[in-house]
Chains A and B, each alone.
Chain A
Amino acid sequence: MELPRPSPLVMERRAEIVARLKAALPADTVIDDPRGLLAYECDALTAYRCPPLAVVLPRSTAEVATALRLCHEMDVPVVPRGAGTSLAGGSLPTADAVVIGVARLTRVLETDYADRLIRVETGRTNLSVTGAVEADGFFYAPDPSSQLACAIAGNIGMNSGGAHCLKYGVTTNNLLGVTMVLMDGTVTEIGGGYMDAGDLDLLSVICGSEGQLGIVTEATLRILPKPEGARPVLMGFGSSRVAGACVSDIIEAGVLPVAIEFMDRPCIRACEAFAHAGYPDVEALLIIEVEGAPAEIDHQLGLIRAIAERHDPEVIRESGSAEESAAIWLGRKSAFGAMGQINDYMCLDGTIPVTELPLVLERIGALSAQYGLGVANVFHAGDGNMHPLILFDANKPGDLELCEQMGADILRLCVEVGGCLTGEHGVGVEKRDLMTVQFAADDLEAQLKVKDVFDPKWLLNAAKVFPLAVTEGRRP
């Protein structure tokens, strides 16, 4: 994986750039000592690291605007950063870049239950948005597994999803408005407490633009009343193929659970050892959650059970208590951490049409044998968003490269069957060079044209999302 060479023109002005930022911003806002910069050298894609030129941690939209305006004037690249939990290297710096982080922007600005919205600064974590409203019976729906740590800014950048988006949608479906600072320091207000855009729906391109169009400092988010109750059911099957067929049947039957999660045996064992959720030892496990009043839950689970019985499940076990439900979800949400305890792994994020699940699982198995690398599968089965974890040994020379090749083959497979490279983690640097697998040259060019409008100098996070060869000539 290649990053653009740092611009010598920027590197030789390092002292001047830092001095101007420090002169315009409060003293503790600018970090430039080598040790301080190390904390920002990577995000959750830890295989790649590079300390930035400087880090700015503003306390207000106005300070973000000041920092951006100065960088724009000085032609300095900027890498926006939320909480640094990107699995795709979305906030990986380059040596000539100023990182602008929103970590200090954490306030709740407004809560309105009558209009069912909350306005927050975007450094606030996903879970603490729900935390601000749950005592009053509301929640913020998108729930990425990293929700304890990840920031709303990053959720907007990557259009984050989560286990429950089968029912509630992803970030773009729950975002009503933003305050966004453009690269030249212009502060824009886009959308607001109302539901539809007046003219162009700019929120739709801002959400998921991976910090390439501006820095979002405030967000108006839709909040929803909490359901009366929710209950997961665990089902174990003798093969992944059968579990996949069961998912398809449930969806076609008109039952719409809030979540359908899938795990295979390697993943089940790791999660069980880590979280003691009481998972059965089977080839394939589904966690299906439904919501509503107790009688509604019973009714829906009854329908789901009836469908599952046709697929000869080895185990069907409903959660019997709030504690059991929490344990079931803790197991699933700990999946990446649990696997990390026993192995180095690379986590993929391709999405496929749900109907292709059995085929794709079979071919991933074949690729696993071909490359000699183990794979653990955990994913959002209801919407086809797969997270195969490829196991490798970081200390074994060549293993990471082999793993990356196998990952690329799996993502090509996702595209081949009608899916896409990334369902919720984003492209970042990780999948950047595979974009030509999914998009023709004209399709990519159309996207670059959008960035041309928001960031004509191509200073914002410009080494991400698109293959470097494609953006050559646009980047400084």
Chain B
Amino acid sequence: MTVMTPQDEAELAGMIRAADGPLAIRGGGTRSPAATRPVLSTAGLSGIVLYQPGALTLVVKAGTSLSEVEAVLAERNQRLAFEPMDHRPVLGTTGEPTIGGAVAVNASGPRRVQAGAARDFLLGAVFIDGAGTRVRNGGRVMKNVTGYDLARLQAGARGTLGVLTELSFKVLPVPERIATLALPCDDPGRAVAALARALGSPYEVTGAGWDGARVLLRIEGFAASVSYRGGELARLIPGLVHVDEDPWPALRDGRSLAGMARDIWRVSLRASHGAILAARLLEAGAAVTLDWGGGLLWAAMAPGADLRAQMADLGGHATRLRGTGPGPALHPDPAAVAALASGLRRQFDPEGRFAPEA
């Protein structure tokens, strides 16, 4: 397949205008199957544009690798608080995840439950739409209600509304201390109840998951404060003990399920419904982990099994990250909502240059 690697926005816009059919947009390629269309790579659009630690803001070109972004922030003891997940373990891909790719799928890790998602830290975006028009939206300040928020609309749009070229973020300081507490528990109902107790406490839990065998809680902040809150949480939830390991990257990336020869699903639903669905899926023989206090469920299902049939009464939505059929990989929206989404896609990509790859 042809691979186009524009070096700036103008060249990118020209390539989109010159295209005569759908394109495959690629950041680091860590989520993508082999392309069956001409590839438009953002690799040439890379680098830090502006970093102001004192204003907690970072402006970066979309093709910049996440590892570069994280290294630059780490030098000033700051970080991307939404801890984007890494798709490589589950999808068996190679390549380097990019910041643009993280925004395109609104990739958010365990801290979602407290700090928010990629979209919550996105302050602005520049993108090229399907007609080759450059659009700037948002900015680089933390409070901005000037006009419609098209930057956040791009988060999770999977590139279907435009190719991201430049992104600005709110970044946060790395806390002095990060601690993890664990409690043995093999029942998702009891696990989610414990997580709800922790998340409903004033102790500022920044990670709340269940790995199938343990309830996991994370607290962060100044050392004295972490130690105090850890003590209070242990009082609130008897049996909770400090552990030295860092289980969060594995939970974030679904690594415990990745090695199984099964389909991998990621379900976003109400936290208490996470417990219900987890019990049903375990009963049906699936392997399950929970994050976001139960609001994010990971499942490894028998190939071809229809997870959505198990959640019809629960609401939320399920994405099949790995595997084929039945049904689409993305959860269909209700008709009135889907009509709005397809209306927006027609506006920003009338020729279907960014139509989802099969």
Whole-angstrom distance from the CB of B342 to the nearest CB of chain A? Answer: 9
Is B19 on the interface with A (CB-CB < 8 A)? no
Q: Which residues from chain A contact B156 at a C-beta distance below 8 Å?
A: 196-197, 199-201
Is A449 on the interface with B (CB-CB < 8 A)? yes
The CA of A138 and the CA of B196, in the complex, are separated in Å by: 13
**Is there an interface contact between A202 and B341, defined as CB atoms closer than 8 Å?**
yes
Whole-angstrom distance from the CB of A28 to the nearest CB of chain B? Answer: 30
Q: Give the contacts of A171-224 with B (CB-CB under 8 A).
A: 172-173, 182, 186-190, 192-202, 204-205, 207-209
**Is there an interface contact between B228 and A293, defined as CB atoms closer than 8 Å?**
yes
| A380-414 Cβ-contact flags toward B at 8 Å (1 or 0) | 10011100000000000000000000000000000
Is B141 on the interface with A (CB-CB < 8 A)? yes
| B262-292 Cβ-contact flags toward A at 8 Å (1 or 0) | 0000001111110000000000000000001
**Is there an interface contact between A292 and B225, defined as CB atoms closer than 8 Å?**
yes
Partner pick for B53 among A115, A252, A295, CB 8 A cutoff? A252
Given contacts A204-B155, A351-B144, contact A196 B347 (CB under 8 A): no
Is B129 on the interface with A (CB-CB < 8 A)? yes
Partner pick for B337 among A190, A204, A300, CB 8 A cutoff? A190
Whole-angstrom distance from the CB of A184 to the nearest CB of chain B? Answer: 10
**Is there an interface contact between A170 and B196, defined as CB atoms closer than 8 Å?**
no
**Is there an interface contact between B135 and A443, defined as CB atoms closer than 8 Å?**
yes
Whole-angstrom distance from the CB of A226 to the nearest CB of chain B? Answer: 6
Is A29 on the interface with B (CB-CB < 8 A)? no
**Is there an interface contact between B52 and A353, defined as CB atoms closer than 8 Å?**
yes
Is A161 on the interface with B (CB-CB < 8 A)? yes
**Is there an interface contact between B54 and A420, defined as CB atoms closer than 8 Å?**
no
Q: Give the contacts of B104-161 with A (CB-CB under 8 A).
A: 106, 108, 112-113, 116-117, 119-120, 129, 133-137, 139-150, 152-153, 155-157, 161
Binds A, one of B4-12, B64-72, B198-206: B198-206
Whole-angstrom distance from the CB of B139 to the nearest CB of chain A? Answer: 5
**Is there an interface contact between B196 and A225, defined as CB atoms closer than 8 Å?**
no
| A135-168 Cβ-contact flags toward B at 8 Å (1 or 0) | 0011000000000000000000011010001100
Partner pick for B145 among A419, A423, A440, CB 8 A cutoff? A423
Is B330 on the interface with A (CB-CB < 8 A)? yes
Partner pick for B147 among A115, A187, A189, A444, CB 8 A cutoff? A444
| B163-200 Cβ-contact flags toward A at 8 Å (1 or 0) | 00000000011111000000000000000010010011
**Is there an interface contact between B152 and A201, defined as CB atoms closer than 8 Å?**
yes
Q: Which residues from chain A contact B23 at a C-beta distance below 8 Å?
A: none
The residue of chain A having its C-beta at the shortest distance from the C-beta of B317 within the complex is A198
Q: Which residues from chain A contact B108 at a C-beta distance below 8 Å?
A: 196
Is B331 on the interface with A (CB-CB < 8 A)? yes
The CA of A187 and the CA of B339, in the complex, are separated in Å by: 12
**Is there an interface contact between B149 and A449, defined as CB atoms closer than 8 Å?**
no
Whole-angstrom distance from the CB of B327 to the nearest CB of chain A? Answer: 13
Q: Which residues from chain A contact B193 at a C-beta distance below 8 Å?
A: 114
The CA of A464 and the CA of B330, in the complex, are separated in Å by: 36
Partner pick for A355 among B54, B139, B221, B222, CB 8 A cutoff? B54
Q: Which residues from chain B contact A138 at a C-beta distance below 8 Å?
A: 200
**Is there an interface contact between B56 and A251, defined as CB atoms closer than 8 Å?**
yes
Given contacts A196-B268, A209-B148, A353-B55, contact A446 B143 (CB under 8 A): no
**Is there an interface contact between B147 and A439, defined as CB atoms closer than 8 Å?**
yes
Partner pick for A427 among B112, B146, B155, B292, CB 8 A cutoff? B146
The residue of chain A having its C-beta at the shortest distance from the C-beta of B127 within the complex is A446
Is B36 on the interface with A (CB-CB < 8 A)? no
Q: Which residues from chain B contact A445 at a C-beta distance below 8 Å?
A: 133
Partner pick for B150 among A137, A190, A253, A450, CB 8 A cutoff? A450
Given contacts A195-B292, A205-B149, A447-B150, contact A418 B139 (CB under 8 A): yes
Is B34 on the interface with A (CB-CB < 8 A)? no
The CA of A208 and the CA of B146, in the complex, are separated in Å by: 8
The CA of A112 and the CA of B337, in the complex, are separated in Å by: 25
The CA of A260 and the CA of B124, in the complex, are separated in Å by: 23
**Is there an interface contact between A173 and B120, defined as CB atoms closer than 8 Å?**
yes
Is B348 on the interface with A (CB-CB < 8 A)? yes
Is B343 on the interface with A (CB-CB < 8 A)? yes
The residue of chain B having its C-beta at the shortest distance from the C-beta of A456 within the complex is B343
**Is there an interface contact between A352 and B145, defined as CB atoms closer than 8 Å?**
no
**Is there an interface contact between B55 and A251, defined as CB atoms closer than 8 Å?**
yes
**Is there an interface contact between A295 and B55, defined as CB atoms closer than 8 Å?**
no
Q: Which residues from chain A contact B201 at a C-beta distance below 8 Å?
A: 225
Q: Which residues from chain B contact A254 at a C-beta distance below 8 Å?
A: 77, 173-176
Given contacts A195-B268, A225-B200, A299-B222, contact A205 B145 (CB under 8 A): no
Whole-angstrom distance from the CB of B321 to the nearest CB of chain A? Answer: 14
Give the most central of A113, A418, A440: most B CB within 10 Å: A418
Is B338 on the interface with A (CB-CB < 8 A)? yes
Q: Which residues from chain B contact A453 at a C-beta distance below 8 Å?
A: 340, 343-344, 347
The CA of A456 and the CA of B248, in the complex, are separated in Å by: 46
Is A424 on the interface with B (CB-CB < 8 A)? yes
The residue of chain A having its C-beta at the shortest distance from the C-beta of B53 within the complex is A252
**Is there an interface contact between A194 and B143, defined as CB atoms closer than 8 Å?**
no
Q: Give the contacts of A365-381 with B (CB-CB under 8 A).
A: 380
Q: Which residues from chain B contact A420 at a C-beta distance below 8 Å?
A: 139, 141, 144, 146
Is A452 on the interface with B (CB-CB < 8 A)? yes
**Is there an interface contact between B141 and A353, defined as CB atoms closer than 8 Å?**
yes
**Is there an interface contact between A161 and B143, defined as CB atoms closer than 8 Å?**
yes
Given contacts A196-B268, A252-B53, contact A383 B155 (CB under 8 A): no
Given contacts A115-B271, A225-B200, A353-B140, contact A442 B337 (CB under 8 A): no
Given contacts A188-B340, A200-B157, contact A383 B149 (CB under 8 A): no
The residue of chain B having its C-beta at the shortest distance from the C-beta of A173 within the complex is B120
Is A37 on the interface with B (CB-CB < 8 A)? no
Given contacts A196-B108, A201-B119, contact A446 B52 (CB under 8 A): no
Q: Which residues from chain B contact A466 at a C-beta distance below 8 Å?
A: 147
Chain B residues near A (Cβ < 8 Å) = 52-57, 77, 106, 108, 112-113, 116-117, 119-120, 129, 133-137, 139-150, 152-153, 155-157, 161, 172-176, 193, 196, 199-202, 221-222, 224-225, 228-229, 232, 268-273, 292, 295-296, 315-317, 319, 330-331, 333-334, 336-338, 340-341, 343-344, 347-348
Query: Can you pick out 23 interface pairs between chain A and chain B where the beta carbons lie within 8 Å of each other?
Result: A115-B196, A115-B272, A115-B295, A116-B196, A116-B199, A137-B200, A158-B145, A192-B270, A193-B315, A194-B295, A196-B108, A199-B330, A204-B152, A248-B54, A256-B172, A296-B225, A354-B56, A442-B134, A443-B137, A446-B129, A447-B150, A453-B343, A454-B340
Known pairs A196-B117, A418-B139, A442-B135. 15 more at Cβ < 8 A?
A112-B272, A116-B271, A173-B116, A195-B268, A200-B161, A200-B344, A202-B337, A205-B152, A225-B201, A292-B202, A385-B141, A419-B141, A442-B134, A449-B347, A450-B344
Cβ-closest 3 pairs across A and B: A204-B152, A198-B317, A254-B173
